[in-house]
Chain A
Amino acid sequence: MRDEHLILRVMMKVLFAPIILFAFYVQFHGDYGPGGGFQAGVIFAVAFILHGLIYGVGATRKALPQGALTVMMAVGVFLYAGTGALTMLLGRNLLAYDAIVPESTHHAGQHYGIIAVEFGVGMAVAATMLTIFYHFAGREPEIRDEDW
């Protein structure tokens, strides 16, 4: 697939950034519309999976190495659990987000808390999906045309 599939390669270059942008929109707009961390993480991973399908997993691994994904996975879970620990340190129950901004009259703490945990979910999901993809697809680095 090195020098062929010109249309796919060009389309991938056009689509990559909008897909990532859409993932972030879904991530941070989850309070207001459908979506949230799980969906955003999957969409983020899909951008890189498309890249891997068209340019080969080796190129994708160079762009986003497995080491970074492993860190992302752990940081995502840590962000979620850390938000819970923070509210406990502030003297409320686990994940009782109102503790973050206790003086707010319109539950600003809830907004901050939800955005933080959703971002943790998004990171963990995106990194896990890509890890699974790397480890499955990495065993057969390139999809030959006759396989389709």
Chain B
Amino acid sequence: MSVDPGFSIIAVAAVDLALLTLLLVVAWQMLQSRQLFAVVMLSGIYSLLSAAFFVSLDAVDVAFTEAAVGAGISTVLMLSAMLLTARREKPLKMGRAPVGLIAVLIVGAALFYASIDMPAFGDPDAPANAYVGKDYVERTPNDIAVPNIVTAVLASYRGFDTLGETLVVFTAGVAVMLLLGVGSPRGGRAVSDPDAAPDAETGGDAGKQDA
């Protein structure tokens, strides 16, 4: 069973074009919508589409992470954050100076200009495939003997980096507990502070009177 190479190139291009078009449409809808629930859901769809695009770029590990973190956890966290605020975005004030538009156009033009110099996708002479990447691919079977080179780089060659990343995640959890948490991890008990105002509301009023 062989597939005509010309057909497969056209098929890949069609899938890529469809995914990129959908990404643009979703991004535009996110800009247009004032309803925060719709925006959160669309951002989840955007993540899922970009995960599909990463698969077509042969970056399965990145796609997996994007699908799990971007489409899964981020969407849920945005939803639970949305519950704490208003459901609709404030209407946009029209007629402001077009500084933002000009800045976006200039940066966009610069990015387009830079993309001319980028190597073609899968080019064996591209910097990403030439120096360190090639070394990792050549050495992993002898050094680490693990089939997934991404895991070998992440957990062994760059194990110290990943330790740092784990510590960053840990720090984020501790920071959330300190900022939003109530009491101690063992259930929490009220702390008596003799200097503090007896009641939060009266304390606020007292502050106002002092001012």
Where the two chains meet, the residues of A that have a C-beta atom closer than 8 Å to any C-beta of B are 26, 30-36, 38-39, 42-43, 45-46, 49, 53, 66-67, 70, 73-74, 76-77, 80-81, 84, 94-95, 97, 106-107, 110-111, 113-114, 117-118, 120-121, 124-125, 127-129, 131-133, 135-137, 139-140, 143, 147-148
Contact = CB atoms under 8 A, between A and B. Distances in A.
A31 B163 contact: no
Contact of B61 (A35, A129, A132): A35
Query: Which applies to chain B's interface (DSSP): helix, strand, loop or mixed?
Result: helix
A124 B87 contact: no
Contacts of B186: 67
Interface stretch (B101-109, B122-130, B140-148, B190-198): B140-148
Contact of B163 (A30, A32, A74, A80): A80
Nearest to B59: A34
Contacts of A125: 166, 169
Given A117-B162, A124-B170, A42 B150 contact: no
B18 interface: no
Contacts of A74: 170
Given A73-B170, A114-B156, A129-B73, 18 more contacts: A42-B65, A46-B73, A67-B186, A77-B170, A84-B159, A95-B160, A107-B145, A107-B146, A114-B151, A118-B151, A121-B166, A124-B170, A124-B173, A128-B173, A132-B173, A136-B84, A137-B80, A140-B84
Interface in B142-186: 143-148, 150-152, 154-156, 159-160, 162-163, 165-167, 169-170, 172-174, 176-177, 180-181, 185-186
B137 interface: no
Classify chain B: how many residues form its interface, as a range.
35 or more
A35 B64 contact: yes
Interface in B49-107: 60-61, 63-65, 68-69, 72-73, 76-77, 80-81, 83-84, 87
A117 B144 contact: no
Closest 4 CB pairs of A and B: A128-B173, A95-B159, A107-B145, A34-B60
B156 A95 contact: yes
A117 B169 contact: no
B72 A42 contact: yes
